[in-house]
Amino acid sequence: MAVRSEKIWVDGEMVNWDDAKVHVMSHALHYGTAYFEGIRCYALDEERSAVFRLAEHLRRFRDSGHILGTPLPYGIDEMTEAVLDVIRINQLKECYIRPLAFVGDGEMGLYALNNPVRVIVAAWAWGAYLGDEGLKRGIRAKVSSYTRHHVNVMMTNSKVSGNYVNSVLAKHEVKLAGYDEAIMLDPEGCVSEASGENLFIVKDGQLRTAPVTSILPGINRASVIELARAKGYQVNEERFARDALYIADEAFLTGTAAEVTPIREVDDRTIGEGRPGPVTLDLQQAFFDVIRGRSEGHRDWLTLV
Ligand SMILES: Cc1ncc(COP(=O)(O)O)c(C=O)c1O
């Protein structure tokens, strides 16, 4: 279903959804020179809403611009206000928020550092990315035939739009084959992440996830690691191969869109019991308690709207 709300913040102004247009000669449209964030705002039990880890998302937004070499033309404080204003003006209690910075029109060709960097913030109501059933019962994943970027091919720590063609190819491939999500292997064949999520496996009560060297350093990944360690689980940030994933007791994905989604099957092999395992459920619950403001700890992860 097409996403929509009333207003979008465009270069400092609130613009009607239908009027937020760009020129067809925008550099980013031709060469992928844009960067973005994905952020969620949740309704709390106490009738307020809060944005989850806004400061961390905006820092990564700024870092993506720094990595691409097209710096964000607004400060973190201005972006914070823009995000909160967009949620308020659209009267959204729960939403997904999409800040995007892109190189606009002017020069053509690859070297166009004088073109303006334009910034928008949109927000809309968006449910579970991999479906409510997926969140509850787990999803079916497939390892994609497309390799995740080599670290000197794309800057994998950044959310640069051009990077995402790799994810789109993988997602199309596995969806058309009847699976829910694509798992990507790095150029050496180790498990890196999914098309738009980080990946964890659980074996004998311990968690493993790829180190951030060659993946997007997910904010939900970091949050789940912190929650898991606080609960006494050992979490190892180390590379592992595809067979370790096949024989894991449990596996799950983390991401802003997918939240904490269990994986019940990979490449037609059942993971563990074929349903969300106890560690996954424990961490999923802890995560949902924090984002709903039900947990005593980590109130500093929530920015009230
Ligand atoms: C490639 C990729 N990996 C991981 C993630 C998860 O990151 P986060 O938890 O910050 O949403 C995302 C989503 O932003 C992503 O696009």
The pLDDT assigned to 129 comes to 85
The pLDDT assigned to 118 comes to 98
Residue 78: C-alpha distances to residues 40, 61, 112, 281 (Å): 18, 13, 26, 37
The pLDDT assigned to 29 comes to 98
196 lines ligand 1 (CB under 6 A): yes
Whole-number Å distance, alpha carbon 106 to ligand 1 midpoint, is 31
Catalytic amino acids?
159
272 lines ligand 1 (CB under 6 A): no
Q: Please report the atom of ligand 1 found closest to the CA of residue 258.
A: 11
The pLDDT assigned to 131 comes to 86
Residue nearest to atom 1 of ligand 1 (CA): 196
Question: Residue 199 and residue 195: Cα distance in Å, rounded?
Answer: 10
The pLDDT assigned to 45 comes to 80
Please state the domain extents for the chain. 7-124, 132-291
For domain 7-124, which architecture applies? 2-Layer Sandwich (3.30)
CATH class of the domain defined by 132-291 = alpha beta
Q: What is the mean pLDDT of each run of 10 residues along the chain (305 residues)?
A: 92 98 98 98 91 98 98 98 98 97 97 97 91 94 98 96 98 98 98 98 98 97 98 98 98 96 98 97 97 92 97
The pLDDT assigned to 235 comes to 98
220 lines ligand 1 (CB under 6 A): yes
